[in-house]
Each structure stands twice: as C-alpha cells, then as structure tokens.
C-alpha cells in the first residue's frame, strides 16, 4: 500500500492550482487512482485565510460570509474560498485557522494564512498599519511549532486510558486474530491433532487495566530499575551499580515485588507470571475451553 502524501501549499494558492492544471494537460493520468491526501497545510494571505485574522487581530463583520455560511466565517469573501473547495474535493473538512482556538480541528491539517500577510517583514502592521504581523517567516515558525507539539501530543494520543502503547497492542491483537484464523485451518489440515489456542494477551492486559482488583499496584513502573517516570532506562540494567552525583547506587528491587507487575521494565514479576498461569490453567481463556492438563485430548467442535 502506498504511503499517504501530505499536500503542502506555497504562498500563492492560485499559482499552485495553475501548476496542477498545467501538469494534467501535458501528462494525462486519467487511468490512475486518485491520490490520498490526508492533510493540507496552507500558507498565505487573505485569499486563503479561513479565520486567522478574525481570531487574532481584527473581527470580520457582515455582510462577509452571507452567501454560504450565512454569517461571517473568518473569510474575506461572501462565502467559501478556493482552499475550501480544494479541501472539499479531496474529501477533507474545511481547514481550521492555526490562530483560532475555538472549534478547531487539526486532524486533517492546519491553515497558517492570515489576511494582509506579506512575504517579507511588513513596514506597518495592524491595527495601526495595513499589514498583518504574521508574515511568511512567522507562518513557517508556527508550522514548525505545530509539527513539534502535535507529534508530542500524538505520542501521548497513542496511549490508551491505562497508559499502554495503543499501536503496539493493536498489532498484537491483529496478530492474535490472524493466529486464530491459522489454527482453524490447521485443524482442518491436521484432523487428528489436538490444538489449543490460549489468549494470554487478555489476561496480561487485565493486570494493567484493573491491577487493584487483583492485588497489584503501579503496573507500568519497573520494580527493579532506575530513571524516568517508569523507573526504567534501556542503558541501566537491573542488578548493576551506577554513579549518580558522585555516589554509587545499586539498581535493586522494589520493596514489594509480590504486588508489582513489571520486574525490570521488560519482563514480568513472579507474582504476575503466577497470576497469568492461574488464569489460563483452568481453560477459561482457551479455545477449546478445557484445562491445560487435558489439552492433549481432541475435543469435537
């Protein structure tokens, strides 16, 4: 599958549109599939400002917006702009202005354009002058900041409500789903074999989703480790001695390993391992649902 492409604009939206038209005239590509543009990041002036000026420097009043929005919508027009029609044609929502803090949604891009924006440093700025202080260099700086902060937030949106890494768990769940499918086929190919599928993932995940219910605490924190919010560092191993501010510290165990899930940041404690085994041994998480001691028997399904 081809990776999605992010559509970026220069200061002149109309020039970009002309380039698209010119390219399609010289190189017909009607036999190809449409490109997948998941986001638009726009830089410009009032021709593509979807609310930057209105949200920060000067309110746009009626009759602006009367044709389509039926009220002022931050655009220097009676309705939609070319950037609006472009977003709609790509199946994306209208771009939220980066400077607008109300009702914004940056899932599909952001608009850094502002009314009366210039390429270079303006000689006079609003409200005393006529140009926006948000000129191209500032728009670019906003984009760099947006990119950094959105990646930080994404790394946090990527964790579920229990603090677990969501993408990795989704991969694990998908793998287990395909494994179950493979077992169904194996049972057909090997009719005399007794094959048992055990859902260990669900049991282990319960240790993180409701640890107190099973007598555990701090499931994400390593019992034996040092450093960071999880008491873990890939460069500091359990059982080693390190020097911190001139003092030597032995990286040892926590006080009560019996109530902890995570042993050294990677592996489970004995208590957690015993919990998982006790849960799966009676067959409650098995397919077919039989105790492990009886897994050698083929059960008709």
| 82 within a domain of the structure (yes/no) | yes
Distance CA 52, CA 48 (A): 10
Above 70 in pLDDT, residue 215?
Answer: yes
When pLDDT is averaged across residues 28-40 and rounded to a whole number, the result is 76
**Are residues 224 and 86 part of one domain?**
no
pLDDT tens by residue, 170-199: 999 999 999 999 999 999 999 999 899 999
Pick the more confident residue, 38 or 28: 38
At residue 149, the pLDDT reads 83
Distance CA 141, CA 143 (A): 5
Out of 21-30, 144-153, 169-178, give the one with best mean pLDDT: 169-178
| 182 within a domain of the structure (yes/no) | yes
Distance CA 6, CA 147 (A): 13
**Are residues 108 and 37 part of one domain?**
yes
Distance CA 202, CA 177 (A): 12
Distance CA 36, CA 230 (A): 39
pLDDT band at 160 (very low <50, low <70, confident <90, very high): confident
Computed over every residue of the chain, the mean pLDDT equals 85
Q: Active-site residues: which are they?
A: 46, 264, 267
**Are residues 236 and 105 part of one domain?**
no
- Looking at the structure of the chain, the number of domains it has is 2
**Are residues 264 and 130 part of one domain?**
no
pLDDT tens by residue, 80-136: 999 999 899 999 999 999 998 787 888 899 999 998 899 898 888 888 888 988 889
**Are residues 190 and 133 part of one domain?**
no
**Are residues 153 and 171 part of one domain?**
no
* Residue 48 burial class via C-beta count within 10 angstroms: exposed 0-12, middle 13-18, buried 19 and up: buried
Among 12-21, 134-143, 175-184, 276-285, name the one with the lowest average pLDDT: 12-21
At residue 27, the pLDDT reads 52
At residue 155, the pLDDT reads 63
| Residue 221 belongs to domain spanning | 166-294
| 224 within a domain of the structure (yes/no) | yes
Above 90 in pLDDT, residue 293?
Answer: no
**Are residues 240 and 176 part of one domain?**
yes
At residue 250, the pLDDT reads 95
With a CB cutoff of 8 Å and minimum separation 6, the contacts of 180 are: 197, 287
Residue 25 DSSP class: H
């Amino acid at each position: 599958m081809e990776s999605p492409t992010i559509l970026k604009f220069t200061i002149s939206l109309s020039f970009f549109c002309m380039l698209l038209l010119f390219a399609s005239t010289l190189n017909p590509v009607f036999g190809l599939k449409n490109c997948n543009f998941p986001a638009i990041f726009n830089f410009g002036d009032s021709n593509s400002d979807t609310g930057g000026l209105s949200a920060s420097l000067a309110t746009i009043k009626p009759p602006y917006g009367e044709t389509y929005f039926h009220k002022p919508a931050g655009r220097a027009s009676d309705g939609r702009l070319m950037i609006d029609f472009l977003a709609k044609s790509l199946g994306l929502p209208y771009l939220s202005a980066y400077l607008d803090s109300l009702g914004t949604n940056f899932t599909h891009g952001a608009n850094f354009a502002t009314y009366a924006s210039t390429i270079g440093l303006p000689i006079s700025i609003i409200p005393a002058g006529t140009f926006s202080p948000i000129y191209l260099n500032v728009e670019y700086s906003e984009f760099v900041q947006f990119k950094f902060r959105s990646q930080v937030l994404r790394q946090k949106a990527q964790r579920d409500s229990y603090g677990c890494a969501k993408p990795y768990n989704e991969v694990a769940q998908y793998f287990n789903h395909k494994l179950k499918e493979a077992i169904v086929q194996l049972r057909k190919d090997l009719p005399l074999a007794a094959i048992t599928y055990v859902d260990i993932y669900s049991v282990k995940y319960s240790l993180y989703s409701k640890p107190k219910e099973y007598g555990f605490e701090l499931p994400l924190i390593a019992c034996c480790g040092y450093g960071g919010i999880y008491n873990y560092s890939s460069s500091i191993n359990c059982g080693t001695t390190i020097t911190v501010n001139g003092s030597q510290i032995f990286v040892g165990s926590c006080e009560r390993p019996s109530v902890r899930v995570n042993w050294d940041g990677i592996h489970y404690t004995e208590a957690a391992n015993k919990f998982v085994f006790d849960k799966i041994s009676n067959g409650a998480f098995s397919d077919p649902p039989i105790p492990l001691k009886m897994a050698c028997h083929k059960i008709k399904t």
